[in-house]
Amino acid sequence: MTRIAAIQLEPVLGDVEANLAACERLADEAAAAGAEWIVLPELFTTGVGFVPALAAAALAPDGEATALLGALARRHDAVVGGSFLCRDDDGHARNAFLLATPHGIAGRHDKDLPTMWENCFYVGGADDGLMPVDGAGVGVALCWELMRTQTARRLRGEVDVVVGGSCWWSIPPWPPRAVTRRLEAANARTAAVVAQSFARLVGAPVVHAAHSGPLECRMPGSPLTYRGHFQGGALVSDARGRVLARRDAREGPGIAVADVEIGRSEPPDPLPDRYWLHRRGPMSAFVWSYQRAHGRRWYARHARGLPPLRLARERRGASVV
């Protein structure tokens, strides 16, 4: 059995230093609880919302986020992973998940498709999300990658554990409120089950880190203000989708930690013959389409080619692996 912790973070949007410090504290807490694997949420350096300052918050591949992952892995003799806005040498930003061991970086996965307003800040990747760690096959799936059949197909039967996280946000109570309340209830139910249902499709445990807390930002391409929250729900699931540990969004930042049997098994559930594993609902489908179109134009005008954010590493005492 391996003790694994999923981190739940309440991010400060765009404040890289504050989020790095919070992640370090939570990772230390997880290690004190005996965690041998520690998983940070998607975009743990920034969180995400339509906040234009995020365009300049992407770090270099060998920058502060990578330094923190490596330092934590060495400090706690652990496997530590998480994703962040990463500015590569080609000028593009990507949602890059890096997995660090005490000996260095084991692998990287770039999220395949940005979700909604995320299109404003990074472009998608095309790797298979597979990496070996200590003889185990590790797969990575980030947020709405857990919603797509193509993700389950590439990992099914190939991995001994799936790691990742999300920045899943709510549907605000806009008029007509009776309708948006129903839509948000369905959205919250989906967010709560995607990780463990994904385990049943791939035949491996799933470790899902998450964000919680309020979220307020502009709505892309409109004068409206979005006021909602992150869905939270950090959890550890076994290969049959049984939740071994969960942290509810209402519990705020903290850890979900459990002892897990890492290893692949025959997936209990068949792959569906459709693109989406779960119904998105009419509002999510509409927003997905219009914000993707808006975001790609916004990214080309405002985010592509910016220099990576450089922080003073000596203030953290961490060296890049």
Which of 92, 86, 41 lies closest to 67, judged by CA? 86
Which pLDDT score is estimated for 280?
85
Tens of pLDDT, residues 107-127: 999 999 999 999 999 999 999
pLDDT tier for residue 2 given thresholds of 50, 70 and 90:
very high
Q: How many residues does the chain have?
A: 321
pLDDT tier for residue 315 given thresholds of 50, 70 and 90:
very low
Beta pairing, strands 37-39 & 79-87:
parallel
Alpha carbons 232 and 6: distance in angstroms, whole number:
11
pLDDT tier for residue 313 given thresholds of 50, 70 and 90:
low
Tell me how far CA of residue 226 lies from CA of 27, 43, 117, 174, 286, in angstroms.
30, 19, 12, 9, 16
Averaged over 32-53, what is the pLDDT? 98
pLDDT at 304 over 70: yes
Tens of pLDDT, residues 46-105: 999 999 999 999 999 999 999 999 999 999 999 999 999 999 999 999 999 999 999 999
Residue pair 217/41 in contact by the 8 Å Cβ criterion? no
Alpha carbons 165 and 207: distance in angstroms, whole number:
8
Alpha carbons 165 and 143: distance in angstroms, whole number:
6
Helix 282-302 and helix 177-202, axial crossing angle in degrees, nearest 10: 80
Which pLDDT score is estimated for 314?
40
Which pLDDT score is estimated for 284?
86
Tens of pLDDT, residues 171-206: 999 999 999 999 999 999 999 999 999 999 999 999
Which pLDDT score is estimated for 102?
97
Tens of pLDDT, residues 118-168: 999 999 999 999 999 989 999 999 999 999 999 999 999 999 999 999 999
Q: Which domains, ranges and CATH numbers included, belong to the chain?
A: 2-311 (3.60.110.10)
Averaged over 263-274, what is the pLDDT? 95
Alpha carbons 206 and 146: distance in angstroms, whole number:
10
Tell me how far CA of residue 145 lies from CA of 20, 117, 160, 194, 274, in angstroms.
24, 16, 18, 10, 14
Residue 103's CB: how many other CB atoms inside 10 A?
A: 11
Which pLDDT score is estimated for 312?
67
Tell me if the bond preceding 176 is cis, omega within 30° of 0: yes
Alpha carbons 248 and 171: distance in angstroms, whole number:
18
Q: How far apart are the first and last CA of the chain?
A: 28
pLDDT tier for residue 276 given thresholds of 50, 70 and 90:
very high
pLDDT at 321 over 50: no
What type of residue is 243?
Answer: V
Which pLDDT score is estimated for 318?
46
Q: Which residues pair with 215 in a beta bridge?
A: 228
What type of residue is 16?
Answer: V
Residue 257 structure tokens: 């930690």
